Structure 1
Amino acid sequence: MRGHDQGSHNEVNGVVHGPSVQAGTVHGGIHIRAAAPAVPQVLWQLPPAVGLTDRTAELTLLERHRAQAAREGHSCLAAVSGLGGVGKTALALAWLHTLRADFPGGQLYADLGAQSPHGPAEPAEVLSRFLRALGVPPQAVPSGIAERAALYRSLTAELRIVVLLDDAATAAQVRPLLPGGPSVTLVTSRQRLSGLTLEGCHQVHLQPLGLEAAVELLADTLADGRVADQPDDARTLAGLCAGLPLAVRVVGARLAARPHRPITTMVRALTEERRRLDELAIDGDLSVRGVLDLSYEGLPSAAARLYRLLGLHPGREFGSAVARAVLAGSGALEPRPGPEPAPCPEPADAPELLDVLHDGNLLIDVGEDRYRFHDLVRLHAAAKACEEETPAERTAALRRIAEHYLATAARVEQITDPGRDGLPRTFGPGPVVTEELGEGAEAALDWLERELDNLTAVIRRARTAGLGPVGWQLADAMWPLFPRRKHYDHWRAVHAEGLAAAQEAGDTAAECRMLTSGGLGELGAGRFDRALEMFERAARIFAARGDALGEARTLNYRGLAHQRAGRPARAAELFARAAVELPACGDVRAGGLARLNAADVALATGLFDRAAADADAARTTLLAADDPYNAARATLLLGRVLLRRGAPEPAADRLSEALAVLRGVAAGYETARALASLAEAAEQLGRPDLARRRYREALDLYLSVDRPEPAAAVRARLALLGDGAPD
């Protein structure tokens, strides 16, 4: 006789499960007792919940998805993704613990170990653990993953259970672990597990906390009143943690261990960017750097290199063209002269690598093919660049970034100001990536405006990195934006950096360009004396160099400063000299601009005949010089002269002609002036409705280019016409 306690026996009549006896002849009394199968206890495997701050919206989304799944009669599957340390597991536990009463079948938990040094957990191993927890004896666990998954689904088919799959690596790792029946499964991952969408997964992406929520979390972590007593320092500290809950908890724990230390000491420690990641750590325990290191170490080598090179980008956000630029080639430190950069074959893998970083929550998608780093991730990426790239490689990458912006800005300049005499452009011998600008001058200027913060940051960084010539060339190439859309703060900052770089390099030609272009920004912002000082300084440098043309050009600029400062006679004198000396030195176009400036002074002083003559001469010269923008300004001035003479119909013709050109070159301020003048013509013609429409459009444009004084004048005209415009 052979006895089997727990197993199966294969015979011709099938498979026998459980206790069995096989015997030939039986003699005597035999008693066979089988123990009743063990009934597994209900499993409550979830780790304890921790405090949660300001995640109401995410909890609402998860609960809404669960309720919808219940109404439709199927299981609920959701995935929470986000940056390491952002609080994914805390959110998962906070929600799932609230479901205990509704899911009496129990809770299963598995750490899938995506960031484990030993590699992610094998689904077959996790299934084995789940099956044993559900009461399957170890020797009865099937050997194959497909059989284990089938048995798991069978055992959970009638159970109302909750499953937390924490720190998943891929959708493929998760699929075999999905239970059957009326269950709730929540997956957390640093990756965006879009592949689970096929299983009806609801995706929740967790962002860092807002400032107020981060302060609240800091207060909960300290729990000693220091946040209430030092609110400003607490807000500053929370801001330095950039909303990352792990970072807030780390600094809170460090302060909690030092109850007599003010918050400001931690603020000082974190203020220096180079030390911030080191300070966001508790010895022997958690650190922000360690969490980010795990994400970084899981990247493919090409994505890891893009990550650290993008960490060198000086601005807060960037387009995919920047990724193509840093991957375009090794670059070189010796520039080569030339107006055009070497063409660049587009790196085919840049979009794919950006997707890897985005799916790993190391990059934030901010729309329109643009990305940014979380502040602490940016510091981590830059630190990795310092650790793993040589100084020459880092400089070469920064040069490729700067030359990308320079080459694209130079294209904008060609589109919007083709006749402008800019500084020479120099590019390294490697390929340079430019960006698509769209059609026309408006789109080109839109690119400059969108990238304004980045361009300013690149110019600042270029000077400190020994790439000063790229910085002042970029400042010069940005010129078309400033007269049209103003941005006076950036105008001043860009040219101040360019001027410093030119002076450090001893390049007097670049120094003079930065002085004159920057002086015009000072002039537009109302700092007339500062502008005049810069123009006169440039004049002295030109004179010392024996550059008669450069010195003559400053006559125009100095005249503008005197005109704006209320000294029209001195301005007229300088413009008259410039109108003669500039053509004599070979710059006919600048001579035309001098005549245009002289016309403006004459109009302001009531010398209408002289104004008309100068404006007409300027228009002819500027059209011949292929400068439609400034020719349109001359046409606008002719229309304004006609208005002053009480001839609104011919004035409207001239003004409409100017308006069409100015709209085409995206000149916001001059377009507003043309519209305001057309509104005045409509008033003179007895057409108040048309005047109101023109004034309203002019007002919007003046406000968009930050010109409050003419905007106030337009509001006054609208008020007189019975149309009170809002402030």
Structure 2
Amino acid sequence: MDEPPENQTPGSSSSHENRAEGDITSGGIVQARDVEGGVNFYNTLAREPASQVPRQLPGDISHFVNRSSELATFMELLESTSDPGSRHARILVISGSAGVGKTALGLRWAHRIRSRFPSGQLYVNLRGYDDGPPEEPAMALDRMLRALGVPGSSIPDDVDDRSATLRSLIAERDVLIFLDNAVSTNQIRPLLPGSASPLVIVTSRSALPSLGAREGAHRVQLDTLDEADALTLLRAVTHEKREDEESDLTELVHLCARLPLALRIAGERAASRPMTRLTELIEDLKDDSLLWEVLSLHDDSTTEAVRTVFTWSYRALSPDAARTFRLLGVNPGHDIGLSAAAALCGVPARTVRRSLDLLVGAFMVETSAPGRFKLHDLLKAYALSEARTAEPIADLRTSLRRLADWYARTLEEAAMSLSAIDSVASSLDGQDIPDPLSFATSTAAFDWFESERQNLVSTAQAVLSSENHESAWNIVMAASPIYAQHFTFDDWAVMSQIGVDAARALGDPVRYSAALDNRGKYLFRKRRLDEARRAFDDALRLRETGGDERAVCESLNALGLVCLRTRELDEAAEIFRRSASGFRDLGEERWECLALSNVAEAYLENGDATTAIDLVDGLPEVFAGLDDSASQGNALWLTSWGQRLRGNLSAASMAIDAALAIADDANNRMWEAFWLIEAARVHLAEGRLDEAARCCTLAASLQRQIGDRNREALAVNCAGEVHQALGNFHDASAFHQEAFRMQVSAGDHWNAALALANLADCEKIRGDSAKVRDLSARGVGLLEQFSDKNSSRLRRRLITLIE
């Protein structure tokens, strides 16, 4: 297998690794005929994902007042830009000062028109004005593409490629995109569509003038409420339970600078004290205003009005609610769940729930989704300021540590549901950490992980910055198996480096080697093989020095996988044998057999079927006894491969049928998709071309849904071989050309050379000698880096075609 040992994917090899590097937007449609029922291969994502219709809009805002002229303007814009023949993106920018109600207005309109966008709604908080860094376009695109149904393994690395993928996906789809709290044009430009079908709503404190000049965005500058609307909002928030003088209400409106955010908070404060005269509340507010006037270093009257109202309401909170509010300002994430908030505050969930209810009722905390809470960016800045004033630094560090450790423990629970064999146990004692969440299903575990992805990275960065290296290491290592299994490469890139930095600071060789191993796995999956080899080498040296024999064997296996990928096959086989021998001495039967499977694969890649079959003999039964279905199926796949190369097609067919039965019993489409390619090769060798074509079609379709471009290309190339056998050389050429393009984009030069050899064979039959020589020469060039026996055979085949 070519996966590092903690991330076993059955049937992997140096040419079969899942990847995210492919260009999934280019290329056309390949069609093949003359096979029973017809065979059609379409480029990945050429069709809309059938079941992914995102519904990400946050809830509408309560007590929304007027803004009728702006809403009418928006509707006029929508009607005037609804020309189906238009090529220009429809973009609305709502700008204005902090707290003026930009998001509230945008959401009110978005909910009003969402029925016009049946393909769904995407919402991204770009965090342009949070205390942390703004959302990077690459991360925003990752989330948008996943919401639209793109598998993580199919999301390109480069931000421009991600942007192109998004444009291709939504070009003909009626999608509503809400980009909240944008800080600059450069931040949002990669997130924009290239056609008129979608509609984009942007909110920002900046007017973003260049967006209007270049993209033709329509811009609306939002002002504070007029006095009448401000009074209406104030009355709505107080539920009209008070009988106050008009003059007093008007004075309160002016003290709040007619800002909706300040008016909601002030109104709720007044509503919570129905027996207190409004004049008394106004005097309190004026006192706090004087305090801010003394402390202020600038003349931004609206900002000072908001701060004054914040202070006024904050001082009315109960001690528990006030502390919860302060610590929410310390939370590094963009929002927080109830259990995480309990960990942050170090109190039972029921206690923090009461505080959160009070804060929500006072409009000082928002509910971003059921059970999730967040602060407006102005309130978060205020809460953080109060926390730094009222709480000792040591206590704030402890709160962050509790939050990070709770995340680590819950990640362990999620990993047990999602990847039990790969889960990593931390060293947490849990004395002051609330119980982690538990998950009844893997779907529930993954949904939680997805909702917390941004928060996990932000929290790990925060505890590393605060020099709480143990907590940083724990959260990284607990998350690592989920990153590996679900292709969240952007997060894994950041987190794996945090783990290395934290372990280095701890000075613990055991943790440092584990962090290097995790970093190596990330680099390996990204085909940064030289860097991966260095990380694995460094981890191996530390483990050899520390005398941890089991960890040494794991590092050897990881290095063998790198050699398998680079086709240093003799070295790979030797390293795997050392690993297997070490595991045998340790009594680790499963790991010994996994390493022996990898030895067999190295021999098969070198064309030595006899040795490989001897090595794998009996392994399926061992894995069955260990209740390891994945490895059992993988051993059967290796058996089929070896028997097919030896010409024993009956044994090959029996083995691959048994593997596919395992996949069917487990309802595992990933296993089935890969093992179907071997089944197609067996049927092709048997001359059962209709069955071979059926297997290729199903394998390619499944790989496309999974998002594994490299394995999809293997199925496409095999389909070309089927058509060569049928004598359909025109269609065969189309398949091989498409396979070549996909393999090059995935960085798999060996299989790209094989596709070129097959394509050259087709062109030779068709009589295009010049093209044959060109294709063969290109194939020889791709093979220059490889020196194994199979590469030498393929090179000789290509040279013969040139001659």
The normalised TM-score by structure 2 is 0.52
Contact 2:580 2:596 in 1 (8 A): yes
Contact 2:679 2:695 in 1 (8 A): no
Equivalent in the alignment of 2:577: 576
Deviation of 1:527 (Å): 1.3
Provide the aligned length of Structure 1 versus Structure 2.
Answer: 493
Q: How does 1:109-508 map to 2 (within 5 A)?
A: 110=231, 123-126=242-245, 189-190=263-264, 283-286=298-301, 288=303, 291-292=306-307, 294-295=309-310, 297-299=312-314, 300-301=317-318, 302-329=320-347, 346-350=349-353, 352-419=354-421, 422-440=424-442, 442-508=443-509
> Which deviates more from structure 2 when the two are superposed, residues 445-454 or residues 281-290?
281-290
Cα deviations by residue, 1:495-552 (Å, 9 ceiling, x for unpaired): 2211111111111110111112221221111111111111111222122223333323
Q: How does 1:669-708 map to 2 (within 5 A)?
A: 672-674=673-675, 676-677=677-678, 684=688, 686-687=690-691, 688=693, 691-703=696-708, 708=709
Contact 1:456 1:494 in 2 (8 A): yes
Task: Mark the CA change 1:281 to 1:423 in structure 2 (over 3 Å): closer, same or farther.
Answer: same
Cα deviations by residue, 1:404-449 (Å, 9 ceiling, x for unpaired): 2111111123334445584542134224242243413x44344334
Distance 2:378 2:614 in 1: 62
Contact 1:678 1:694 in 2 (8 A): no
Distance 1:382 1:637 in 2: 58
Contact 1:109 1:164 in 2 (8 A): no
Q: How does 1:457-606 map to 2 (within 5 A)?
A: 457-606=458-607
Contact 1:603 1:641 in 2 (8 A): yes
Contact 2:345 2:352 in 1 (8 A): no
AA aligned opposite 1:303: A
Distance 2:225 2:304 in 1: 28
Equivalent in the alignment of 1:139: none
Contact 2:533 2:559 in 1 (8 A): yes
AA aligned opposite 1:190: R
Distance 2:248 2:534 in 1: 79
Cα deviations by residue, 1:164-218 (Å, 9 ceiling, x for unpaired): 995999xxxxxxxxxxxxxxxx999426999xxxxxxxxxxxxxxxxxxxxxxxx
Distance 2:423 2:633 in 1: 19
Residue 437 of structure 1 aligns to a residue whose secondary structure is coil
Residue 501 of structure 1 aligns to a residue whose secondary structure is helix
Contact 1:166 1:188 in 2 (8 A): no
> Which deviates more from structure 2 when the two are superposed, residues 564-573 or residues 373-382?
373-382
AA aligned opposite 1:659: A
Deviation of 1:282 (Å): 7.0
Contact 2:98 2:378 in 1 (8 A): no
> Which deviates more from structure 2 when the two are superposed, residues 410-419 or residues 476-485?
410-419
Deviation of 1:459 (Å): 2.1
> Which deviates more from structure 2 when the two are superposed, residues 86-95 or residues 616-625?
86-95
Distance 2:266 2:600 in 1: 63
Residue 427 of structure 1 aligns to a residue whose secondary structure is coil
Contact 1:655 1:677 in 2 (8 A): no
Distance 2:565 2:620 in 1: 22
Distance 2:302 2:666 in 1: 56
Distance 1:417 1:516 in 2: 18
AA aligned opposite 2:580: A
Task: Mark the CA change 1:663 to 1:507 in structure 2 (over 3 Å): closer, same or farther.
Answer: farther
Distance 2:305 2:429 in 1: 39
Equivalent in the alignment of 1:653: 657
Contact 2:569 2:602 in 1 (8 A): yes
Deviation of 1:389 (Å): 1.6
Deviation of 1:627 (Å): 4.4
Contact 1:84 1:292 in 2 (8 A): no
Task: Mark the CA change 1:564 to 1:96 in structure 2 (over 3 Å): closer, same or farther.
Answer: same
1 or 2 for the larger relative contact order (CA 8 Å, sep ≥6)?
2
Distance 1:168 1:628 in 2: 69
Deviation of 1:631 (Å): 4.1
AA aligned opposite 1:650: M
Task: Mark the CA change 1:633 to 1:535 in structure 2 (over 3 Å): closer, same or farther.
Answer: same
AA aligned opposite 2:337: G
Deviation of 1:319 (Å): 2.5
User: Where does structure 2 lack aligned partners over 5 or more consecutive residues?
Assistant: 1-65, 77-96, 106-219, 269-291, 721-730, 743-803
Distance 1:597 1:492 in 2: 27
Distance 2:378 2:546 in 1: 49
User: Where does structure 1 lack aligned partners over 5 or more consecutive residues?
Assistant: 1-51, 63-81, 98-106, 131-162, 170-185, 195-276, 330-344
Cα deviations by residue, 1:463-496 (Å, 9 ceiling, x for unpaired): 2223211221222222322332233333332222
AA aligned opposite 1:304: A
Equivalent in the alignment of 1:56: 70
Deviation of 1:571 (Å): 0.4
AA aligned opposite 1:323: A
Contact 2:579 2:595 in 1 (8 A): yes
Task: Mark the CA change 1:673 to 1:543 in structure 2 (over 3 Å): closer, same or farther.
Answer: same
Cα deviations by residue, 1:547-590 (Å, 9 ceiling, x for unpaired): 33332332211111111122111101111111112221343332
Deviation of 1:400 (Å): 1.8
Distance 2:397 2:451 in 1: 25
Residue 478 of structure 1 aligns to a residue whose secondary structure is helix
Deviation of 1:367 (Å): 3.0
Contact 1:327 1:347 in 2 (8 A): no
Contact 1:408 1:435 in 2 (8 A): yes
AA aligned opposite 1:516: D
Equivalent in the alignment of 1:13: none
Contact 1:636 1:658 in 2 (8 A): no
Deviation of 1:701 (Å): 0.6
The percent of aligned pairs where both chains have the same amino acid is 21
Distance 1:378 1:444 in 2: 29
- Structure number with larger C-alpha Rg: 1
Task: Mark the CA change 1:424 to 1:570 in structure 2 (over 3 Å): closer, same or farther.
Answer: same
Equivalent in the alignment of 2:62: none
Task: Mark the CA change 1:418 to 1:123 in structure 2 (over 3 Å): closer, same or farther.
Answer: closer
Residue 415 of structure 1 aligns to a residue whose secondary structure is helix
Contact 1:640 1:651 in 2 (8 A): no
Contact 2:334 2:374 in 1 (8 A): yes
Task: Mark the CA change 1:109 to 1:589 in structure 2 (over 3 Å): closer, same or farther.
Answer: closer
The normalised TM-score by structure 1 is 0.57
Distance 1:529 1:621 in 2: 34
Contact 1:619 1:631 in 2 (8 A): yes
